[in-house]
């Protein structure tokens, strides 16, 4: 069984990464999801050592972005780049997914503070804030 591993208290980056994999990587559409503490890996094993397990946004593997300080990178952007490189995204989806993963990278790196009117109510009700709220229940 293929498994996607994300961190507990999932955020938009982790959720989107898993969605991109399940939607675009052949054989991964029914992958199960498992969760570990942030920074950890499933069963403490080396990330990317098992081809049937993909870690996203945790574990410092190929789809984690925490090993470098790049304010324009996220796990979802890394997954997207991998999918593009391997021709796994339909041409008509490329622009929308590029824009989506750019926004996710901004949010994951707190770059929305540089948006116009960063204190506007619209940001408090955006999907990433709703996800954060669910994580606190």
Q: Which residues of 86-95 are buried (b: 16+ CB within 10 A; e: fewer)?
A: eebbeeeeee
Pair of tokens at residue 85: 């490189």
Q: Is 108 exposed, middle or buried (0-12, 13-18, 19+ CB in 10 A)?
A: buried
- Give me the residue spans of the domains in the chain: 3-135
Q: Write down the pLDDT at residue 76.
A: 98
Pair of tokens at residue 53: 């397990």
118-131 pLDDT per residue, tens? 888 888 888 888 88
Q: Write down the pLDDT at residue 124.
A: 83
Pair of tokens at residue 37: 């503490």
Q: Which residues of the chain have pLDDT under 50?
A: none
Say which residue the tokens 């996607």 belong to: 4
Q: Write down the pLDDT at residue 130.
A: 87
Beta strands 53-55 and 32-36: pairing type?
A: unpaired
Q: Are 17 and 56 in contact (CB under 8 A)?
A: yes
Going by C-alpha positions, the residue among 71, 97, 96, 68 that lies closest to residue 83 is 97
23-35 pLDDT per residue, tens? 999 999 999 999 9
Q: Are 54 and 3 in contact (CB under 8 A)?
A: yes
């Amino acid at each position: 069984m293929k498994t996607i591993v994300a961190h507990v208290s999932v955020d938009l980056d982790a959720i989107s990464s898993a969605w991109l994999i399940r939607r675009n990587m052949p054989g991964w559409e029914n992958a199960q999801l498992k969760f570990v503490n942030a920074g950890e890996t499933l069963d403490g094993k080396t990330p990317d050592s098992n081809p049937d397990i993909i870690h996203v946004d945790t574990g410092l593997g190929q789809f984690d972005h925490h090993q470098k300080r790049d304010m324009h990178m996220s796990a979802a952007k890394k997954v997207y780049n991998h999918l593009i490189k391997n021709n796994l995204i339909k041409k008509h989806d490329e622009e929308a997914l590029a824009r989506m993963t750019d926004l996710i990278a901004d949010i994951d790196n707190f770059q929305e503070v540089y948006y116009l009117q960063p204190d506007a109510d619209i940001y408090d009700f955006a999907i990433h804030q709703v996800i954060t709220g669910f994580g606190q229940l």
